Every structure is written in C-alpha cells, then in structure tokens.
Structure 1
C-alpha cells in the first residue's frame, strides 16, 4: 500500500488540529501541537547532521515525547529505535550503540544513564523543551517511499541477544486496515498500556493515531489504577496483555465499575487460558478481540472475533484458538526442519507471508536469513496447527516443547487445565531433567492470596484431567512468575536452575 506513517500527523493537523492526540504525564497534546513539536524535533535532528536512514533512539516510559521524536525523525527520513528501559544500563547502551543512534531522547527518570550512552542525549523535561524551542517549527517535508524503514524495535531477548526489527511504512499500513475493524475512529479514547518499545504499544498507538482519536498513555502498569483509568477517561478501546487483564479482573470491585464506554478490548502477546477469558467477559461485559502476531510481523496477523468468544456455547472451543488470519495474510504449518506443509490438525511450525513481514534485522544478515525463508515465508518459531475452518491453534513456542520419553508435551495444554483450579492464580509449566524419561513435566504455581495449596492437591487435580504423559510430576510454588515487558513468562529463567551444569539446556 502507498502508505506513509508521517502522513498521520500532517493530515490530522490540517483536518482536526484542535482535537486531542495524546494524554500522558498529566498533559494533553493536540494533533496541531504534535505536528508543531515534531517539526521542531525534525529541525533539531537536521541541525545535528541526521538525515534519511539515520537512527535516533528513545529510552523512556510511555509519554508524548516519544511521538515528538518518532514523527520528527520520519519528517527527515530517519528511523526511531525504541529501547527497552527495563534492561540493565549496559544492555541499553549496547542497543543504542547497535542502532548507531547519534541522538537519544532519554526519560528524566533514567537521567543517570546519560553518561553511558553514545552520541547526543536529550533528557525529557526542561532540557527536552529547550531542545525543541531552539529550532523553528518548519516541516522539512520529507515523504519517502512505502518501503522506507520508520521504526526499529528490538526483540525482547528471550531467544537470544536483542535484534533490531526493521519496520517500514508498508508494514505499518496495518493500522489503516485495522482502525475500523478494531472500532477505532475519531471519537474513540484508546488506552495504550503496553510499552512503546513493544509492537503492542507503538503499533497499537499508531493505529489509534491513524484513526484520529485520543491515546491515553499509561506510564506504569498498576491493575487497580488501570481499572480507575477505564472509568475516569471513558476508555473505548484498549490493547492489554493477558497477565494484566487477569490482574485487573482480580482487583476488588472491578466487576462493578462503569465500562459502558467500551467498544472492545484487544488482548494478545502471550497465551491466555479459557478461565481468564471467561472472567474477563464477565468483568468488562465488552467485546473481546484476540490478536496474535510478533514484532517481526508488525503485530497482529490473526484475530479471534468477539462472536467466537462463546464460553459454554457450541463454539466455545474456539476460545482456545488464536483466530483466523486477516485476508491479506497467508499461513501454513510446516515441518520445523523444512518447508513441507502439514495437513489440518497436524502440529508443526507456523510460517506467515504478508506485507506486514519485516524486511529483516538491522545489520544481522545471518539471523535474517534464518527468519525469512524461500518465497517470502517468515518462520515464527511458534508451534501450532490449523483446523478445517482455518482457525489457528497455538500449542507453544517450539523451544518450550517438553519431550518426555517419546511423547511431546506442549505446556499451554497443561497450563490450561491447572489455571482452572480455584486456588491457582498463575501457573507455568516447564520441562526439567529426568533420568528415566529425559524430561519430566513440572508446574510452577502461584497460589491465590490466602490459599494454602499443597503439591499433592495440584497433582491430584491434574491426575483427574490430564493424560498420563502430560501430568506434572512435581510442583514448585512461587510468589510470582518472571515475565518480560510483553507479559510472556520467562520460562528460560524458570528452567535454568534445573539444567545448570548438565552440559545442555532447554530453549
């Protein structure tokens, strides 16, 4: 599609400049103000010697300054690299260096990092405002081409060293396609709780900005505060990861709050159990859209529609699926060791082909070659199958599969069962060493507050509901599970102590 991200701010500034674009850090920025501020940022970047193809970095929580930089960079053809602020200082500095960013906009909360970052560092607050004010609000007028890279997002690192995923104007055209489908328009109020360094944050925000609505930027995730924000801001649309959705439903009194403005909640980025879905439907009484995708596919490529969320109904089993691909997305299930396509119902690796696929990783030709196969097919690294109706059922990350004896166990199947136990608040299933079977299934369980749960109770519950080879052989208890910023459980961290010193690892 002949689409340009930079046109979002230019078009809305002309057509609806006085309308609110962003609310965050206690202030609201209109589309006209965003256009002006991004033009000043563009001039500042030009003055620093940047131009088409240059990288700039942003290290900070969700705030309007991110969009000053993103649109300012786009107005000169530069690329914004959004960096995970939850990493260690050394890791953040390494990513900024990897991007080759000559300028970094740094959240004032992390000002202590400035001395460790290469290039020019602009700290938000007074320094950032002075940086903008020193330059005229003249739009340089760069338009560029559909395939020009606009944003560079770094993978979470759960499968290795973070890699810069390059996303183009064409990749982000999904926002134009999906705004109406996600019930976003100029009157919407869209909540952006996912971090902007994640595709679920920046991609979702760009879809809302394309629609011309107001984005409510969430700086810190607090389930009780999110419930208050839904009600106070009259939120109409939101994208929330399953873990946060689950925690919001557990906030005392959450089911009795006023969510009447809601048009829909999108969820995705990590597996969800049927029990969490059931409770979310009861709590919010609003349409739920499940979306599946990854950074390398510019977010959502598969969607489960609200009408398919039918717990207890004849199509209730679909709530365990990710949905069906969009019309412009091709899926196939292939042998993990090759390209051969598998029949409906057979588990294999999910491959995807669409205009949303990244062109590759920044300066990583070998990794790019492993990601993008023949014919434009992208290897997701996720295991699953397609049913006869074309619904995608994800079984797990291929690396998380447990091989016990000659049987494959996909952790999500076990987690689905255990999550329905009334005393379990959260659960992860991993493979641990076993002398007899190679690997054994272990459950790591977070009990609900006030519940005195024992290992034997959990094992007995599983025995009644799972095939023998899928049952956990042991249970550990934890206060919480480690998660990355997108809400995915860091199973590599959970597995590590058990495999340490054995000369091999899982994942």
Structure 2
C-alpha cells in the first residue's frame, strides 16, 4: 500500500494556559531592566523600552482606557504605523479588556475605514493623523470636529489621533494621544479578569482572495503557536529578534516578547517597504547584535542586490523567510551573501498561526522551490484530493492542518464561525495546493485561487515565471490568467523591466516565442503566454505580499479584456 500524505509531530512540552497579561507582569518582575523593545523611526532615531517601562506605561494607559469607558470586549479600531505609541496603546487595551482590530487606509473618502468600524461596531478609533494631512481629512469625513455624535458610525464614541496637536481644535470627540499620555492617572481602577480562551485581538487576512476576513485570536492560541515557532527558530528570552512586520499582522504582533520575553527590534514598516533604507536596516541588525532576523520577500530581494552588507549579519544565527513561496534561487543568493548557514522557510496562515518550517542546515532533504518542511510540535498535516481523501506521497492536493490552537473563527459568522474553513473533524483547509515528499517534508505548489484554468487544464504560474525571469532586462515577472471566451482563461506574461533596460512588450513576445512551444505534445494546451504586458511596479497587499489579483486586473485593463 502506498504511503499516505499525513504526518504529525508530537509535543515536547505541555500546553501553556495563561494570558499575555500574566506574562507581561511576570517578565517585568523577573528582569525589570532587560530591554524589551528597540525602535527606529523614519528619521533613524533610536528609542527603547525596558520590561518594567513597558508594563508601567501600558498599565497607566489601561487605567485611562477604563476611565474612558473601555470594558471587557470593547471593540477598538487601530490604524497606525509601527511606533512605541502603538505598542503601548495596544498593550494597555489588552489589559483593560478591549479588543483591538487593525486596518489600513486606502481610500481618501474614508469609506473603507467607515465600513470596517461599522462592521465591527467599533467604539473607539485610534489613528495616525495630524491636522491637514490625508488621515485628518478622513477623520473629518468620519466625524466633523464640531459634532458631538457620529451619525455615520453609530457605535463610535471617541477618536484618538496620534500626531501634531493644536489645543484649539481639541473636542470631546477627539483626543490627542500625547495629551492622553499626559493625563493624570486615575485611582481606584479595577481591571477585568482575562481568561486564556478570551479573545485577544482581531487580525485581518492579507486579502489575497479579494476581501480580507477578520480572524479572532485568543490568548491561548496565540501564545501556544508562538511558543512552537520560537522553539523552532531557537528564540529564547535572551534572543534579540529583528522583525519589521507591523504589529497589525500575525507575524508582527508583539506576541514573541509576550510569550518568551524576547527582545524585539523593529522599525516603522514604511522604511522597509520603500526599499530605500536597506543599508541602514543592515546597520541596525549589526548594531543591536540581532541573532534572529525575519525577512519578508521584498527585504530578501533588497539584500540580494547588496552583497557588501553581508558582514553586518555576522551575529545572526537564523534567518526566517516568510510571506511568499520561497524559491531555491533566493535562498542560495542569501546564503552566499549573508554567510548564514541556517535559513528557515516558514509557513503559516493568519487563521492557524505557525504550521511548519524547513531549516536549510538541519533537514537532510534537498531544498526546492516552495518547500515548507515538517509540522511544528503538536501539529498534524495532510494532503487531500477534491473528495477529501488523503492522497499518496508525492501527489498534489489541498493542504490541511490541525492543532488545538487554531483560530476561534471569523468575526460576524455565528452559525458557522469558521466559514467552512474548518471541517467536522477539526481540520483547517488552508486553500494551498501542495504535496508531501518521501522524506516527510511538505512543498507548497500554489494557491487554489492562483491556478490558471486553460480549457480543462489547471496549472500554477511558477514554471512560466521561472523562464520569464531569465529574459535580460527583467526585474521580476508574473504569469496570470486573463479572460478568454473559448478557454475561460489564457496566460498573460507580466514583467517589470529593470530601469533603463529599454525592454519592450515586443521583446517579451519574441522571447516567449523562442522559449515556449506553441502547441504542447499530448492532450494539453501549451504554456506559451498569449498576451504580454509591461508593469511599472509590483502591486502589493498591505501585508507586503504580491497582489496577483491586482496584476491580473492591470493586465485586463491594458489589454482591453472583459470577463469571459
């Protein structure tokens, strides 16, 4: 009988049954003067907080939130860039029992903010804004300063803005964060009792499927999957971890400190997304003696173009790659430049948290594109076909995973909180297509929604993109499906040219004609792209992942195609 694509990794330690509020206090009592967080702002100014300073400042904020009317379960919208203000406020909210939900502004009329606050019945909004800037104008759309009630968002009671403050425009509906911090600390405040299964935070999915879903996280789930991630990364309370991911995402949320007391070094994420400060970021990693570094895809690309920065990673023991399907070529370049033997391909989802990892210097199998390794302790993984049956090793299918710490559900869904993503046996359906190798390592082949359907054939774009990237003058390349009346979809090659390369769409079309056969041998259609489009830049989701849906929309618009 063929070996089935299922494996599990036993736990080596008991489950953790406490809250982040408990560990926040324990850490400050254990080593009050140990550095908890280090932050660099856009002006490259360094700030730091010790464990006791964080606890004290968060406790003060929590008391003020309670006085403001925050109770256990109050929904609070947070729209901020990484900063100490954001860290202190969200930690204080946690202690007061409030539940933060995070979002980003994309529309100048504020309609996306309004929709999110109404959907989650937000009572408090905390937002980066200063009088006269874009976000301030959005606040004016939401709640004009002279009004005492918000008719657009009936649940909203107060807005806090983090930015420049003019006392003359202060109103009962708007509070400045700096003024909030300066208020007298109220006496006689009682905090609610928080349980491990209580909701900790709401985190949105990346939106790669079109509409972000709001995932409910508990203290128990977040702490337990974080503990397993830390163990696999080799992170302890004495580690210094660089992670620039925003606090509003699962990877960036300050859970690593709140689980193990790990010193976290972070920056305003706008610094790294822009790609202009890669040298300064490398300086930070060297100066702070970081021994663990998390690199989203765009930072890895930035570093591979700067080999002179390699020596600045001399203290790094582990580099964690995440957010996108990891390619062997990227790992080889990083190992050559950074001289770091251990590079981890890390796999997880917003709903499930950490799932698996593959470490280049530990695993015996050969690294290949998309490898995500073996499950973390206490977790099961399997691959199933369309009917739900486990497939033999080496056969592709949907990847399912199961653990006690999966998400509590999606906000707003009552009859079926998981929205069908979790089946009756507790298996979470990731929506990723992959296979299990004979050595027990799993490989991600792609997303169900990334598959291109050409006639009766379904294919992933990776093999096409690999060829497109070999064309001289191409910075990066994508293959997406665009509408076709006969075949439902056909392939469009979309490339971003290197600056001053002079690459044209005609050059791309000629290259494809030289590299791909027009008709494939056998009963399948060929992989040759039918259309060829040049992109000015790569559209990204708020998470930093490539927005393939947007690339397909741009291609359709440029080509003048409508839905099939």
Whether TM-score is above 0.5 comes out as yes
* Distance in structure 2 (CA, Å) of the matches to 1:487 and 1:269: 8
Is residue 2:127 matched to residue 1:106? yes
Q: Shift in Å at residue 82 of structure 1?
A: 1.9
Q: Shift in Å at residue 301 of structure 1?
A: 0.6
Contact 2:384 2:390 in 1 (8 A): yes
Map 1:2-401 onto structure 2 (within 5 A). Answer: 2-24=17-39, 25=41, 26=45, 27-86=47-106, 89-108=110-129, 110-115=135-140, 116=142, 118-124=156-162, 127-136=176-185, 140=190, 142-173=192-223, 174-202=225-253, 205-219=254-268, 220=270, 221=272, 222-223=274-275, 224=278, 225-251=280-306, 253-255=308-310, 257-286=311-340, 287-298=342-353, 300-307=354-361, 315-336=365-386, 338-365=387-414, 368-401=418-451
Structure having the larger proportion of residues in helix: 1
* Distance in structure 1 (CA, Å) of the matches to 2:180 and 2:351: 33
Greater CA deviation, 218-227 or 13-22? 218-227
Higher relative contact order (CA 8 A, sep 6+): 2
Q: Report what 1:493 is aligned to.
A: 550
- The SS at the match of 1:374 is coil
* Distance in structure 1 (CA, Å) of the matches to 2:107 and 2:195: 33
Q: Shift in Å at residue 436 of structure 1?
A: 5.0
* Distance in structure 2 (CA, Å) of the matches to 1:422 and 1:207: 42
Query: For residues 137 and 266 of structure 1, do their structure 2 counterparts lie closer, same or farther at Cα, with a shift above 3 Å needed?
Result: farther
CA radius of gyration, larger in: 2
* Distance in structure 2 (CA, Å) of the matches to 1:334 and 1:245: 32
- The SS at the match of 1:368 is coil
Q: Shift in Å at residue 34 of structure 1?
A: 0.9
Query: For residues 332 and 212 of structure 1, do their structure 2 counterparts lie closer, same or farther at Cα, with a shift above 3 Å needed?
Result: same
Query: For residues 237 and 96 of structure 1, do their structure 2 counterparts lie closer, same or farther at Cα, with a shift above 3 Å needed?
Result: farther
Q: Shift in Å at residue 491 of structure 1?
A: 1.6
- The SS at the match of 2:443 is strand
Query: For residues 472 and 160 of structure 1, do their structure 2 counterparts lie closer, same or farther at Cα, with a shift above 3 Å needed?
Result: closer
Alpha-carbon RMSD across the aligned residues, in angstroms, is 2.8
Q: Report what 1:455 is aligned to.
A: 508
Q: Report what 1:424 is aligned to.
A: 474
* Distance in structure 2 (CA, Å) of the matches to 1:462 and 1:235: 44
* Distance in structure 2 (CA, Å) of the matches to 1:385 and 1:140: 52
Runs of at least 5 residues in structure 1 that lack an aligned partner in the other structure? none
Residues 3-45 of structure 1: CA deviation (Å, up to 9, x unaligned):
3122232111111111222222432121111111111121122
Contact 1:43 1:135 in 2 (8 A): no
Contact 1:231 1:258 in 2 (8 A): yes
Query: For residues 55 and 451 of structure 1, do their structure 2 counterparts lie closer, same or farther at Cα, with a shift above 3 Å needed?
Result: same
How many residues in Structure 1 have an aligned counterpart in Structure 2? 495
Q: Shift in Å at residue 308 of structure 1?
A: 5.7
Contact 2:326 2:369 in 1 (8 A): no
Contact 1:241 1:486 in 2 (8 A): no
Q: Report what 2:148 is aligned to.
A: none
Query: For residues 393 and 467 of structure 1, do their structure 2 counterparts lie closer, same or farther at Cα, with a shift above 3 Å needed?
Result: farther
Contact 2:100 2:201 in 1 (8 A): yes
Contact 2:60 2:92 in 1 (8 A): yes
Query: For residues 416 and 87 of structure 1, do their structure 2 counterparts lie closer, same or farther at Cα, with a shift above 3 Å needed?
Result: farther
Q: Report what 2:492 is aligned to.
A: 442
| TM-score, structure 1 as length reference | 0.89
Residues 103-162 of structure 1: CA deviation (Å, up to 9, x unaligned):
222224644433326331222256323313425387845452221110101223332333
| TM-score, structure 2 as length reference | 0.80
* Distance in structure 1 (CA, Å) of the matches to 2:444 and 2:426: 22
Contact 1:39 1:137 in 2 (8 A): no
Contact 1:83 1:96 in 2 (8 A): no
Q: Shift in Å at residue 206 of structure 1?
A: 1.5
* Distance in structure 2 (CA, Å) of the matches to 1:308 and 1:320: 17
